């Protein structure tokens, strides 16, 4: 009885505290504000939300995106053009349910546009919510087709999975990297299976010989069977459409088995050099397809890499670059609209109005954004981005463009 | 813990549970309709209700039947993926009808899964049983990881481990794509529907516990040999509790699935099973009211702790430990007993006042 009483009191207190929050929660309404400042200038404060795994197994991605976006926002705010961005990053632990919760938290804060979510499955769940609520989303790295399919308000800054898989196969074929290919993929993961399916289809079409296909699940730590199968079938290239944690184990176990094929990864492999305790010499010669390489010599990349290094003490991964570009792409789109319509003040604009503006700009054939992950990025009506993929290879512990 | 001398108080207890659920529903329904609720909390209402159903259904096995089950999320996933298939297959029907049939079929299939798994599992005891349920939970997850289901004009297509074997029309839609799970689920779950289901589940469980069957189940829990000598078949009654519990977990899974537009088998792993077990243990084993409240609070808590950012889950863990310590502290218990008595006296003096 007493336990129940205490619990009831606690419930009561909690309900009260939450409803109290509810009154202060502001979703932003009225005031479309266009033309407020004249002269085609963009002014006001934009509330930009980032959703991603800041803790848990995929935390490297979420933190990289959040850090990258933070750098972009700091730069934009430092320019003092009258336009500022307020940034808030929420954790979703790479889980769809938590991600929807994080999204609602951002809504209570009054978010106007979202740069997220970082990982695929949560993004599908959140994008469905954002679609019915009319909140603009630009995902830095959720690559499945289902993220944007049928949702006009969701755009991708990264390549969609089919593009990644088929572009990898095309790249391997064009550069004659291998004749016999082995694939090791995670059949308990949407991202990995998605790329595998498109890679396989494209490889078959091009006549690349796939000699070994092996799978693993999230809990796997022993890859001797998969590595052994690739080795005994004489594969000279192993395609790893997987995240970096299992990839690091595969590299270790292949090295100890004395098997030295070429390894080819996709963007999930990015981050392998930042794993604590991982011998980076094992990753020597690993190739991956990614839109970003930190050693590029253009000013944009140099500036970004220097700042990231200064603030966070590491070389930014592709995810950090994606986060950085997301903030700039949204700013560019708003500027584009402001220039066309004689100014725009985004302060307190409702997320739904902003969503319509951003959709119209992103689907505008004249609009293109430049960033560290590509110059002249353009989007199609499906929300997929068009930009040039780059392949990088790991040399002396850093990513080097090929 | 339930004991026999308290049996007369059971109906009152049961009433309290219905009252809690109805108050919970009315309060939040009013808050939602007047717009005085954070969208964070509003978005969690359905998952909270699902976890409440999960908690009371697991409490039937852990508390009433006395068997530790670590694979409850497996049954939830059976219900969830069944609901995805059923709701898509009856695309033209009205939403409440689709929700109802999805829950029903989800519960039936999860119940069948529970029955089949119960046959080997319930032959074991104690720790062995717990470990085997854990294994079956993982097996269900991995089977779903290999399952491909598609739908086209000819109907449903099933394939195992190979999406190409679906043999669908080009116009067909893949409903469940192995580890990629289901995407584009139509979100037809409603808070009202979820609460009605919770009430139905509570009615079933509380009437079961109060019945001859329930007493037989508890007798087996308390002393198997004595119960057997009275002519009670342990296997039959344990199986009954286990199957009903699995079916209810399936129904919770069905509502859960239809509240999100995507669903992956990975969600229903060991951690989810343990999460539900934590609700049951913290709420008090065998105590349905406790399960309801613990599930409600512990689902909302991580969201309320977001202001601690990176230390969120650390604080969550500390809160769990504190709750454990406080609820088991004899001194505190004594003080609260006195407090509760005072309150009760006041209530009885105050006449009919609640």
* Mutation to test the A interface, candidates B20, B38, B259, B343, most A Cβ within 10 Å: B38
Q: What is the CATH number of domain A42-159+301-388?
A: 3.40.50.2300
The residue of chain A with its CA nearest to that of B288 is A4
**Which of B36, B178, B183 minimises the CB distance to A187?**
B178
Render pLDDT for B147-160 as a digit per residue (tens, 0 to 9): 999 988 888 889 88
Res A15 pLDDT > 90? no
Confidence grade of residue B190 (pLDDT, cut at 50, 70, 90): very high
Contact B303 A194 (CB under 8 A): no
Distance from CA of B261 to the nearest CA of A (A): 5
Q: What is the b/e burial string over B55-89, where b = at least 16 CB atoms within 10 angstroms of the residue's CB?
A: bbbbbbbbbbbbbbbbbbbbbbbbbbbbbbbbbbb
A residues 22-81 closer than 8 Å to B (CB): 22-23, 25, 27, 54-55
Res A25 pLDDT > 50? no
Does A42-159+301-388 match A162-290 in CATH topology? yes
How much is the average pLDDT of B220-233? 94
Confidence grade of residue A156 (pLDDT, cut at 50, 70, 90): very high
Structural domain boundaries in chain A: 42-159+301-388, 162-290
Contact B39 A104 (CB under 8 A): yes
Contact B337 A144 (CB under 8 A): no
Distance from CA of B97 to the nearest CA of A (A): 22
The residue of chain B with its CA nearest to that of A195 is B180
Distance from CA of A296 to the nearest CA of B (A): 33
Res A222 pLDDT > 70? yes
Res A118 pLDDT > 80? yes
Confidence grade of residue B169 (pLDDT, cut at 50, 70, 90): confident
Question: Distance between CA B189 and CA B106 in Å, rounded?
Answer: 14
Question: Distance between CA A127 and CA A179 in Å, rounded?
Answer: 40
Q: Please give the pLDDT value at position B1.
A: 43
The residue of chain A with its CA nearest to that of B311 is A55
Confidence grade of residue B353 (pLDDT, cut at 50, 70, 90): very low
Q: Please give the pLDDT value at position A38.
A: 54
Summary mean pLDDT of chain B: 89
Take residue B218 and report the two structure tokens written for it: 């508890």
A residues 163-202 closer than 8 Å to B (CB): 186-190, 192-194, 197
Contact B289 A4 (CB under 8 A): yes
How much is the average pLDDT of A320-348? 92
Confidence grade of residue A116 (pLDDT, cut at 50, 70, 90): confident
CB of B172 less than 8 A from some CB of A: no
Confidence grade of residue A19 (pLDDT, cut at 50, 70, 90): very low
Q: Please give the pLDDT value at position A171.
A: 86
Question: Distance between CA B94 and CA B97 in Å, rounded?
Answer: 5
* Mutation to test the B interface, candidates A5, A6, A7, A91, most B Cβ within 10 Å: A7
Q: Say what percent of chain A tops pLDDT 70.
A: 90
Confidence grade of residue A10 (pLDDT, cut at 50, 70, 90): low
Q: Please give the pLDDT value at position B350.
A: 61
Show residues of chain B in contact with A194, CB under 8 Å. 180
How much is the average pLDDT of B108-125? 95
Place of tokens 């064009």: A174
How much is the average pLDDT of A92-103? 92
Contact A190 B303 (CB under 8 A): no
Q: Which of A51-55, A143-147, B245-249 has the highest mean pLDDT?
A: B245-249
A residues 311-340 closer than 8 Å to B (CB): none
DSSP result, B94-125: -HHHHHHHHHHHHHHHHHHHHHHHHHHHTTS-
pTM (2 decimals)? 0.83
Kindly indicate whether the domain formed by A162-290 is annotated with CATH number 1.10.3720.10.
no
Summary mean pLDDT of chain A: 85
CB pairs under 8 A between A and B: 151
Cross-strand bridge partners of residue B155 = B152
CB of B181 less than 8 A from some CB of A: yes
Place of tokens 């999860």: B110
As for the ipTM of the complex, it is: 0.85
């Amino acid at each position: 009885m007493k336990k129940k009483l205490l619990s009831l009191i606690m419930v009561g207190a909690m309900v009260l505290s939450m409803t109290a929050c509810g009154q202060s929660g502001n979703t932003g309404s009225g005031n479309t504000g266009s033309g407020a400042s004249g002269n085609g200038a963009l002014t006001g404060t934009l509330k930009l939300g980032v959703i991603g795994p800041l803790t848990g197994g995929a935390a490297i991605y979420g933190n990289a995106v959040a850090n990258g976006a933070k750098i972009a926002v700091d730069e934009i705010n430092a320019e003092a053009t009258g336009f500022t961005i307020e940034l808030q990053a929420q954790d979703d632990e790479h889980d769809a349910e938590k991600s929807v919760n994080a999204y609602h938290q951002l809504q209570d804060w009054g978010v106007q546009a979202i740069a997220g979510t970082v990982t695929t499955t949560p993004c599908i769940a959140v994008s469905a919510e954002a679609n019915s609520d009319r909140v603009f989303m630009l995902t830095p790295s959720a690559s499945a087709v289902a993220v944007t399919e049928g949702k006009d308000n969701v755009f991708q800054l990264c390549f969609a999975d089919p593009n990644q898989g088929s572009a990898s196969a095309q790249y391997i074929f064009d550069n004659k990297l291998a004749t016999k290919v082995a694939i090791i993929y995670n059949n308990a993961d949407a991202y990995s299976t998605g790329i595998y399916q498109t890679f396989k289809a494209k490889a078959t079409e091009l006549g690349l010989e796939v000699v070994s296909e092996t799978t693993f699940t999230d809990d796997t730590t022993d890859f001797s069977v998969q590595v052994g199968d690739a080795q005994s079938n004489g594969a000279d290239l192993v395609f790893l459409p997987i995240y970096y944690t299992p990839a690091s184990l595969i590299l270790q176990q292949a090295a100890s088995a004395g098997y030295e094929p070429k390894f080819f990864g996709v963007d999930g492999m990015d981050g392998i050099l930042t794993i604590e305790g991982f011998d980076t010499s094992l990753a020597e010669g690993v190739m991956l397809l990614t839109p970003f390489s930190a050693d590029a010599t253009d000013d944009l990349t140099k500036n970004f890499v220097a700042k990231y290094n200064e603030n966070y003490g590491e070389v930014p991964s592709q995810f950090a670059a994606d986060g950085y570009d997301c903030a700039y792409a949204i700013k560019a789109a708003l500027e584009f609209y402001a220039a066309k319509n004689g100014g725009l003040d985004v302060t307190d604009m409702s997320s739904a109005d902003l969503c319509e503006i951003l959709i119209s700009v992103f689907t505008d054939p004249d609009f293109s954004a430049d960033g560290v992950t590509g110059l002249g990025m353009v989007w199609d009506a499906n929300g997929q981005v068009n930009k040039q993929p780059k392949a990088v290879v790991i040399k002396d512990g850093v990513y080097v463009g090929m | 813990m339930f004991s026999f001398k308290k049996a007369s108080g059971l109906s009152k207890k049961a009433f309290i549970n219905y009252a809690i659920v109805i108050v919970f529903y009315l309060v939040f329904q009013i808050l939602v309709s007047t717009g005085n609720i954070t969208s964070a909390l509003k978005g969690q209402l359905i998952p909270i209700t699902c976890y409440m159903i999960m908690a009371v259904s697991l409490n039937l096995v852990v508390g009433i039947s006395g068997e530790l089950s670590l694979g409850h999320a497996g049954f939830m996933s059976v219900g969830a993926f069944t609901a995805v298939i059923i709701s898509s297959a009856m695309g033209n029907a009205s939403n409440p009808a689709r929700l109802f049939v999805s829950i029903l079929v989800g519960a039936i299939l999860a119940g069948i899964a529970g029955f089949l798994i119960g046959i080997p599992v319930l032959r074991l005891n104690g720790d062995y049983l717990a470990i085997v349920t854990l294994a079956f939970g993982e097996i269900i997850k991995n089977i779903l990881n290999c399952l491909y289901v598609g739908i086209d004009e000819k109907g449903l297509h099933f394939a195992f481990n190979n999406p190409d074997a679906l043999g669908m029309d080009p116009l067909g839609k893949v409903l469940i794509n192995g580890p990629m799970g289901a995407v584009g689920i139509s979100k037809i779950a409603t808070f009202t529907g979820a609460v009605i289901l919770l009430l139905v589940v509570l009615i079933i469980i509380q009437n079961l516990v109060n019945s001859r069957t329930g007493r037989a189940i508890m007798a087996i829990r308390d002393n198997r040999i004595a119960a057997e000598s009275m002519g009670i078949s342990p296997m039959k009654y344990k199986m009954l509790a286990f199957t009903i519990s699995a079916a209810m977990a399936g129904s919770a899974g069905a509502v859960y699935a239809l509240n999100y537009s995507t669903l992956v088998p990975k969600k229903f792993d060991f951690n989810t099973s343990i999460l539900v077990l934590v609700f049951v243990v913290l709420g008090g084993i065998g105590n349905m009211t406790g399960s309801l409240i613990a599930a409600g609070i512990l689902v909302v808590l991580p969201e309320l702790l977001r202001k601690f950012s990176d230390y969120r889950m650390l604080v969550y863990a500390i809160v769990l430990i504190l709750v454990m310590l406080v609820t088991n502290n004899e001194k505190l218990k004594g003080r609260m007993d006195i407090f509760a008595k005072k309150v009760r006296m006041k209530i009885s003096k105050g006449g009919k006042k609640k």
